[in-house]
Structure 1
Amino acid sequence: MAAKKPATTTKTPAAEPETVATTSNTTSPNTAEAKSRFNAALDEAKAGAAALGDEAKARVGAYREKAKSGGQEWSTEAKSTAGNLANEGKHRASEAMTGLSRVIDENAASLDEKLGPKYGDYARSASKSLQDNARKLDEKSLDELAEDSREAIRKSPAAAVGLAALVGFLFARLFR
């Protein structure tokens, strides 16, 4: 019988990993191409941003001009509307004064009977004064009324402040 030989194992030295030499001078062709594409995309983005900025500036300028011309038109229209409303208000105030004058004049006779002729005369005088003021209000323009108001305020500022406070109080009570 033949004797078996023990199996011998031979050791081979372990393979050492390969080291890749990297230097700053050598780059792979893929890296160079990626850098080139990235720089091109960056340049394109910068150019696009500049173009968008120029377009935005042009649009802002156009909108600014449109707003200026539209603002002038709106201002003119608002002044016209305000003038019309002021004239209408002036006319209504005059009508209200005339109506109050009629009511006072109609009741002057009953004041004569109940309180005496002296109080009836006061009522007629007040009625006549209201009618005269209503007529003057109708005859004057808004500019004349504004100038008269300024003059009255210059002459008596304390009375003007008191009257403004009274009117404010009445409006607050009216719209509450």
Structure 2
Amino acid sequence: MVETTANPGGAVGGTDAAKNHFAKAMEEALAGARALGEEAQNRAGGYREKLYQKKDGLSGEAKVRSDEYKDKAFGFAADGKTKACTALSGLGQAINENAGALDEKVGVKYGDYARTAAQSVQDMATRLDEKSLDELSEDAVEFVRTRPALAVGMAAAAGYLLGRAFK
């Protein structure tokens, strides 16, 4: 034990001891802080690695799902195209079959109009059947670019009709 009151030089020695003790405590605190910082960085690196692995797994899974849904959508579009072609072809045949009745009841002129309309519908069904889905989508984009007002009007009319149909 150092007596600071009896020995003036001891006071300095006590101060030096306290400074040394404080310096050692600071060094230990800094070393502890460095160790904690390194441990935190190691843990963060581990978590980061897990996160990247999970992200890669999820993005791979999302790509697979996206491809599946894309294939399904193209399948539905192809089925819709086939059904539309069949419906247009049937409509053309029905118009053509009724052209004879129009000849008798209204006149040959109107029967010829019906035959022309039936041929136009048949031609449309053939063109639709011959085009791929990519070509049809390009045609739709081009139509919207050249006639945006008509495209919006047709979309509104289709929405109205679908709304009435499902009401």
**For structure 1, which segment, 59-68 or 125-134, has the greater mean C-alpha deviation from structure 2 after superposition?**
59-68
Superposed CA RMSD: 2.2
Q: Which of 86, 96, 117 matches 1:126?
A: 117
Match for residue 96 of structure 1? 87
Question: What whole-Å deviation, never above 9, does each CA across 1:129-154 have from its counterpart, x for those lacking one?
Answer: 01000000010011111111122222
Give the number of equivalent residue pairs. Answer: 129
Give the residue type in structure 2 aligned to 1:106: E
Match for residue 75 of structure 1? 66
Q: Which has the larger radius of gyration?
A: 1
- Matches of 1:70 and 1:116, distance apart in 2: 65
Measured after TM superposition, the shift of residue 85 of structure 1 is 1.1
- Matches of 2:56 and 2:144, distance apart in 1: 41
- Matches of 1:52 and 1:152, distance apart in 2: 57
Could you state the TM-score of these two structures normalised by the residue count of structure 2? 0.69
Q: Which of 28, 48, 57 matches 1:66?
A: 57
- Matches of 1:161 and 1:104, distance apart in 2: 29
Measured after TM superposition, the shift of residue 171 of structure 1 is 1.2
Partner SS, residue 134 of structure 1:
helix
- Matches of 2:137 and 2:56, distance apart in 1: 34
- Matches of 1:153 and 1:72, distance apart in 2: 30
Could you state the TM-score of these two structures normalised by the residue count of structure 1? 0.65
Q: Which of 131, 149, 152 matches 1:140?
A: 131
Is there any run of 5+ residues in structure 1 with no aligned partner, and where? 1-45
Match for residue 174 of structure 1? 165
- Matches of 2:153 and 2:76, distance apart in 1: 26
The answer to whether residue 150 in structure 2 is matched with residue 153 in structure 1 is no
Match for residue 163 of structure 1? 154
Give the residue type in structure 2 aligned to 1:160: A
Q: Which protein has the bigger helix share? A: 2
- Matches of 2:49 and 2:134, distance apart in 1: 43
